[in-house]
Amino acid sequence: MTIPEPILNGDTADFYFHNTRRVLAQENLDPSVTMEIFPSRAGILCGMREALELLNQVLPNDAQVWHLDEGAAMDTKEVVLRIRARYSAFGLYETALLGMLASESGWATAAHRIVEAAKPISVISFGARHVHPNVSAQLEYAAIIGGCATAATPAGARLAGKKPSGTMPHAMILIFGDTVRAVEAFDKWMPPDVSRIALVDTFRDEAEEAVRVATALGDLLWGVRLDTPSERGRVTPDLIKEVRARLDLAGFPHVKIFVSGGVDLERVEIFKRANAPIDGYGVGSAISAAPPIDFTGDLKEIDGKPIAKRGRIPGITPNPRLKEWTRNS
């Protein structure tokens, strides 16, 4: 994982950390400090891998770091990261460290809640289109850490060591002018290891279109995707059940049903209560729009002396779950 230059040179740091660095340097003050970082609420920890890579690039060899693992469940105000080093080595990067953990933990926690609700049905992250492309890979990675099977973009899936998932958009079907023609062309030109999943809400009734593409591709069709927009009433449990019944009656029980479009925790629970026969979900803004989990960094020791601002307990906060970090070579 490469840390971008604007982070390393401090361009993304709060400016008062630049002021602090300048003043301390003029005063010849550079104590050894211990900083502890903790979240404002419970959730799934994510961003630690990136945070440790940043520390790997900026900390001297004699620095010490303790941390929880990526993907660990964390409690409110539990110390997830402890750093002991000269303040000048890492003080400028407090903004970046907190931001990495805040955004990625928020996304991972939202994904985890949806994945747990959907079990045993798998969830794929479709969230990249809802955030700036500069952070879309981190979003998709965090969603996978939260439990999503994979993600829709190569960059995000790559960070998590996964293959991206995706077949065809509405634009492709609209250009062909017919769903079956689009699916047949897709089957002709895509390699065999790409699942044949057809969107079936573009031109015709979803159940009718599902049977049409199943008839055209037969055993080659892995599944159909329902993405009915709100203008047409969205995807409902009854629609899913009808598509399943009509596929079965037409002799295609092997064809799976994948649901996307506005899927969130509430919708998953509705589908589950209705026993809707779903084989997979695509979830976007319900993960990407999740609020970050605020993290705080506190100095708890200066030159070995316990210290803290008012409202906090001076000295190291015990957490036996922390493991000592072995830096990358």
Q: What are phi and psi of 242, to 5 degrees?
A: -65, -45
Q: How many CB atoms lie within 10 A of CB 15?
A: 9
- Residue 329 pLDDT grade (very low, low, confident, very high; cuts 50, 70, 90): low
Residue 14 makes CB contacts below 8 A (sequence gap 6+) with 94, 95
**What are the boundaries of each domain within the chain?**
5-105+293-324, 106-288
Contacts of 43 (CB under 8 A, 6+ apart): 73, 74, 105, 106, 108, 109, 112, 293
CB 199 within 8 A of CB 170: yes
Q: Are 124 and 166 in contact (CB under 8 A)?
A: no
Q: 5-105+293-324 domain in CATH 3.30.360.10?
A: no
* pLDDT above 80 (res 328): no
Backbone φ, ψ for residue 15 (5° rounding): -65, -25
326: confidence class by pLDDT, cuts 50, 70, 90: confident
- Tell me if the pTM is above 0.85: yes
Q: What are phi and psi of 31, to 5 degrees?
A: -75, 160
pLDDT surpasses 60 at 134: yes
CA distances from 217 to 184, 214, 289 (A): 7, 5, 37
Q: Give the C-alpha separation, 196 to 176, whole Å.
A: 17
Identify the H or E element spanning 327.
Answer: none
In angstroms, rounded to a whole number, what is the distance separating the alpha carbons of residues 80 and 104?
Answer: 14
Residues in the chain: 329
* Cα dist from 82 to 13, 76, 106, 294, whole Å: 19, 16, 20, 16
Residue whose pair of structure tokens reads 């995706």 in the numeric block: 166
pLDDT digits (tens, 9 = 90+) for 144-183: 999 999 999 999 999 999 999 989 999 999 999 999 999 9
| CATH-assigned architecture of domain 106-288 | Alpha-Beta Barrel (3.20)
Reading across the β-sheet that carries 280-283, which strands appear in turn? Answer: 150-151, 122-125, 280-283, 256-259, 223-226, 197-199
The pLDDT value recorded for residue 188 is: 96
Whether 201 has a pLDDT exceeding 90, the answer reads yes
Token pair listed for 14: 């709060």
* pLDDT per position as a tens digit, 231-264: 998 999 999 999 999 999 999 999 999 999 999 9
**Model pLDDT for residues 85-126, shown as the tens digit of each residue:** 999 999 999 999 999 999 999 999 999 999 999 999 999 999
How would you write 155-194 as a 3-class SS string? HHHHHCCCCCCCCCCHHHHHHHCCHHHHHHHHHHHCCCCC
- Tell me if 198 sits within 8 A of 255, measured CB to CB: no
Residue partners of 265: CB distance under 8 A and separation at least 6:
113, 114, 117, 286
Q: How far apart are CA 156 and CA 303, in angstroms?
A: 41
Instruction: Taking residues 48-71, report their average pLDDT.
Output: 97
